[in-house]
Every structure is written in structure tokens, then in C-alpha cells.
Structure 1
């Protein structure tokens, strides 16, 4: 089987976790390949996500690496998707790979928390608001790509409405709520949509008012996706040059702390809904 040319972030993450197990066992890629009945190149391709690896092969590798963490092994063995084709694959070659990786991350996450200081979270945006956001891209995007990006963003929101909906906490600064993207009517509809979706059991919307003052992470837009086990958590940073994922232990610890501090300065869920109502009344 020919190696993949563009493995997804999830495939790369699986390979990286297998590499950590190998290095912890003190084995070189050549030694690991010999134990597997293959060669160094095969191990290298598995660890970069360039070739698929089955659940059985993952368990064999874990055994060869003397890994006795059953929860970790089970979690890694559940990561290969086989021949399953998910909805975001229809955008491959049309949108940047990072946007597809984000949809994949959200699909497999156990819980998601996001902190936004200057924009409405993508999972809460209306079609009209999302279109305005992409129309402001620089350099300007051609109209067909704007529509592709809008439809992709709206389809991502299905994780909040599926049979087992994603537990989602959105922390939004007052500045983002008061920016009138698309004018008064678009803004009013956007805030009403946030109010409505915040009533769902799996969705918590928290507002940071201007009066909260300074707080850690105030200059960043980031999300924390909890995996099936803590080792598989991921931080997503929304950068102007594209999507960035972080998963080093120190990075996860840092952003968990920042997210907790951001949430601590937010209003309660009930007070946040009251705050949203007051902004809506004054539009």
C-alpha cells in the first residue's frame, strides 16, 4: 500500500503516540521494525501517519514496547477509522486540510471548551454571520470558496445535535458579542441563536463582561478538546495563518490552567443569558 501523502492530524497524532511508546521502551525504529517482522521504514511511516495501522497491530506494538497502560492501549486501538468516510472528506482538496482536521477533532472529542475574546465561536455561528466572517478574509476569497467554508462551518455544528451530543462550553467576551458583523439584523439574529442554543443541556455559554478586566489568555482564541483519556487531549489555536494543534504534556497542562482561569472570571450561565438579553434589548 502506497504511503499517504497528506495524513490527517488524527492519523499523525496516533503515530506520534506510538513513537512515544517506542522511545519510552528505549527501542530504535530499526529494532521496532525487526520485532514487527518489518523494517525501519515501515515503523517510520506508521509513526508519521503515512500508512494505516490496524487495532491489532497497535496492540502488538504496545506489547513489543512493554506498555501496560490498558486504558491508553484501548484508546489508541480505537483511533484507526478503517474505511469509514466522514462528511468532511467531501471538502478534501477544496478547503485547507486544517479545517478538515478541526472537524475531525470535534467529531471524536469527548468534551470541548472554547474561549473567544473577539469572535463568536464557529459552532455557534449562524449562516449569515459566518458568511460575513469569511467575506472579510484577506486576501479576499472567491465567492465559491466562501460558500464552501460557510457550509463546512455549519456542518461542524452537527456534533451539538447528534444522538450523543458533544458537551460544549463556550466562553465569549463581551467585545465579541457587541461587534455588529453584518449589521444590526445579522447581529440580533446571531445573539438570539446563541440564546436559544444555550438552553440545550449539552451547551453552556458563559460571558466575560468588560468589567472583568484583565485575565490570562485574553489575547488568544483557543479551544481545549478532551480525548477519551487525558493523554489524548488536544489544544486548538485559531491563527490567521491556519489551524494549530498542541498536544505536548506541558502545553496541555498550561492551557487547562488558562481555560480554568478564564472560566473563573466569567459570569454564571444564568447571568450570562441575562447579559445576552440586555445586549439584545439595546440593539
Structure 2
């Protein structure tokens, strides 16, 4: 099978991890090629995500690289065996590779942490809100509708059989930004309160009075992998979305998220009685904005 020209994010990340392990084991490409009974170029293609590696050969490589048994070992094996196919294939007529990679990454993640500075994060958007957001960037109404359907389908990870742990810090500006008109915004703000009832979902608002923080204008998502070594940061850009897996970058964004969470108001708790709110919290701020619409 010839090398693929456009590996998926999962295939690329698997290759990156194998290269890290090989270098950590101080093993040359030639030595790894000998283990695979192949040429050196095959190792290069595998480490670039352009070629698959069989179950038995990957197991042998991981053992020779000194990767101990455990979640990291198991997750690498699982990544190699995955087909890359899923519910997102139904949207292949519209979405591009980055969107497919995003959906696949979400499907295998155990936790999501996201910061939304200007709009409500996609995982929490209502259908009307999503359509209004996408209509502003997609000229073709039919494509905008399909993108909205895709976005709503991604939200299943919050309510499926094994729902992910989800934490969101939303800047107050996103609550005030008019998307689709007052009626759409009211339903969207209600949605924030409703989804916060899920035991796996935590929503906080970063208020204006918290001031400027170095990360408060950045939109990002932190994905928790099946092992900490496989955590990923996702940065959405109009032309080229980025998936980051470098340890230092992961640490930086994890620290930024935790700092944002510390500066934000207390999480939304829709079950609490109004009189129990001794101080301003995320719920009271969302309600205040909603009633002012």
C-alpha cells in the first residue's frame, strides 16, 4: 500500500508518539526498520502517519521502545487499530478533514475543557444559535444547515453512554453578543442553564470585572486522552485549525484554563434556590443578561 498523502490527526499523532518513544529509547531508524523487517523509509512513513503498522508489529515496537504496559500503551494500540470511520462519515459531503479529525478526537476523549471568549462554545449551542453563527461565515445556506447539523451531532458526547467530563469558561461578552436576535439569545442562555444540570457538565462565566488576563481572548479546547500523554489542544482558525500535542504547550494551556476558571464566577447550579446565592455567580449573571433581552 502506498503512503497516504493526507494522514488524519489520529494517524499523525500516533506517528509522533512512536517517534518520541523511539528517540527516548535511543534507537535509530535503521534499528526500528530491522524490527519491522522493512526499509528505513517505512519507519519514516509510519512516524509521519503516512503508513499503518500492524497490531503485532506495533506491539513489538512498543515493547522494544520500553513503553510499559498501561493506559498509554493500550491507547496507542487502540489508535493504530481504529478505522477512522464513525457517525461523521454521514457529513462527508460537507465537512473537511479538520472537522472529521475534531469529531473523531471528541469521540475518543474522556474530558473536554474549553474557553469561549466571543461566542458560546459549539458543544453548548442551540440549533438556532448554531445556524445563526454559521450563517455569518458560510454563504451557502444549505452548507450552513449541514454544518449546524454536524455541530449538534457532536454534542452527543455529553449525553451518550459514557459521557465526557465537560468544563467551559465563557467570557461575559459572549452572553451579550447578539446572535440571531433576542429570542435566539434567550433560548441559548436557557440552554446553558439546562445543560449545566448534567452531572458531567460545568459552566462558568468570566465576568467583565475580572479584568484582562493573557488568555481571556483566546478560544481553545483541551482534550483529555485515554492517557495523559495523549492530551491535545485544539485551536480553531478559519483557514488552518491546529492540533497541538507537545507537552510544554499542553501544560501552558492547562494552566491558562485553570487560571481562567479561578478568575471566573462560581459554576452554574440551576438547582440552587435564588436566596442561596450569597454572592454573584455564573447563574445569576446569565439570568440577569437573559431578563434584560
TM-score normalised by the chain length of structure 2 = 0.90
Taking the TM superposition and a 5 Å limit, the aligned residue runs for 1:54-203 are 54-68=54-68, 70-83=70-83, 85-92=85-92, 94-137=94-137, 140-203=138-201
Q: Which moved more, 1:216-225 or 1:22-31?
A: 22-31
Task: Name the CA distance, whole Å, in 2 between partners of 1:130 and 1:221.
Answer: 17
The answer as to whether partners of 2:220 and 2:235 remain within 8 angstroms in 1 is yes
Q: 1:268 to 1:53 in 2, by over 3 A?
A: same
The answer as to whether partners of 2:171 and 2:205 remain within 8 angstroms in 1 is yes
Task: Name the CA distance, whole Å, in 2 between partners of 1:141 and 1:29.
Answer: 48
What do residues 142-194 of structure 1 show as CA deviations (whole Å, max 9, x unaligned)?
22221221111111000001011111011101100111101111111111111
The secondary structure found in structure 2 opposite 1:170 is strand
What do residues 249-271 of structure 1 show as CA deviations (whole Å, max 9, x unaligned)?
11011111111100000111142
Equivalent residue, structure 1, for 2:285: 275
Q: Which moved more, 1:271-280 or 1:189-198?
A: 271-280
- How many residues are paired up? 281
1:84 CA displacement? 6.3
The secondary structure found in structure 1 opposite 2:236 is strand
Q: 1:84 to 1:231 in 2, by over 3 A?
A: closer
2:257 matches 1:263: no
Q: Which moved more, 1:64-73 or 1:191-200?
A: 64-73
The secondary structure found in structure 1 opposite 2:4 is coil
Gaps of 5+ in 2: 270-280
Task: Name the CA distance, whole Å, in 2 between partners of 1:205 and 1:131.
Answer: 22
1:96 CA displacement? 2.0
RMSD across aligned positions (CA):
1.7
Q: Which moved more, 1:160-169 or 1:88-97?
A: 88-97
The secondary structure found in structure 1 opposite 2:156 is helix
Task: Name the CA distance, whole Å, in 1 between partners of 2:204 and 2:55.
Answer: 39
Gaps of 5+ in 1: none
1:6 CA displacement? 2.3
Which residue of 232, 235, 253 maps to 2:230?
Answer: 232
Equivalent residue, structure 2, for 1:209: 207
Q: Which moved more, 1:66-75 or 1:204-213?
A: 66-75
Q: 1:84 to 1:106 in 2, by over 3 A?
A: closer
Task: Name the CA distance, whole Å, in 2 between partners of 1:189 and 1:148.
Answer: 21
What do residues 14-40 of structure 1 show as CA deviations (whole Å, max 9, x unaligned)?
111001111222223232111211112
What do residues 99-132 of structure 1 show as CA deviations (whole Å, max 9, x unaligned)?
1111111111111010111111000111111111
1:234 CA displacement? 0.5
Task: Name the CA distance, whole Å, in 2 between partners of 1:55 and 1:124.
Answer: 38
Task: Name the CA distance, whole Å, in 2 between partners of 1:83 and 1:122.
Answer: 26
Task: Name the CA distance, whole Å, in 2 between partners of 1:226 and 1:279.
Answer: 32
Equivalent residue, structure 1, for 2:7: 7
Task: Name the CA distance, whole Å, in 1 between partners of 2:67 and 2:83.
Answer: 27
Task: Name the CA distance, whole Å, in 2 between partners of 1:36 and 1:132.
Answer: 52
The secondary structure found in structure 1 opposite 2:79 is coil
